[in-house]
Structure 1
Amino acid sequence: MANRWLRPEVYPLFAAVGAAVGICGFQLVRNICINPEVRVSKENRAAGVLDNFTEGEKYAEHFVRKFVRGRAPEIMPSINSFFTDPDKN
């Protein structure tokens, strides 16, 4: 029975599902630990709605967003410019 599911053709499926579960787990832990709108402890829940804008901005402006802010929204800019503007090359 185990030989039926552990064929080499199934390994990419296991890798894709494992990556998806890993990304979901990372986002879950990130939200529980550092999201200012998620309150796990009873004391924090009793505080109600907090107007803590600096903590919210710190959460929203993470490293990846700061890294891509000034860049063009392209996956491979050098290849795109090669095919769209042949005069430069």
Structure 2
Amino acid sequence: MGRWLKPDVYPLIAAMSFVTGMCVFQLTRNVFMNPDVRVSKSNRQSAVLDNADEGQRYSQHAFRRFLSTQRPEVFPALNRFFSESSSAGDK
């Protein structure tokens, strides 16, 4: 096994494991929480589901609600430093 798994490949294995985990998470989330996915037969019988509130809960999850209250800045402290004028420099 040692000759097949070289240290040069570790970053590639880490990146591929992370991406695979993200894909599995998203697919699992869609199967269990998406209002448009019908797994049980009772939900598949109706052609159109009246589930607007369920769709609203799915699309406006907690992380999206948190991000909607935040300012769209990458480095807020750095932005404030360069955007605010200093009192000594204005005179």
Give 1 or 2 for the bigger CA radius of gyration. Answer: 2
What are the within-5 Å matches in structure 2 for residues 34-49 of structure 1?
A: 34-49=33-48
Bigger relative contact order (CA 8 A; separation at least 6): 2
Secondary structure (helix, strand or coil) at the match of 2:53 reads helix
Distance in 1 between residues matched to 2:9 and 2:84, nearest whole Å: 43
Give the partner amino acid of 1:63: A
Which runs of structure 2 are paired with 1:1-89 in the superposition (5 Å)?
A: 3-4=3-4, 6-82=5-81, 84-85=82-83, 87=85
Give the distance between the partners of 2:14 and 2:84, measured in 1 at CA. 39
> 1:72 corresponds to which letter in structure 2?
R
Deviations 1:38-66 (A, max 9, x none): 00112211111112111110111111101
SS at match of 2:3: helix
Deviations 1:20-51 (A, max 9, x none): 11011001110100111000112211111112
Percent sequence identity over aligned pairs = 47
- Using structure 2 for the length normalisation, give the TM-score: 0.81
The CA RMSD measured in Å over matched residues stands at: 1.8
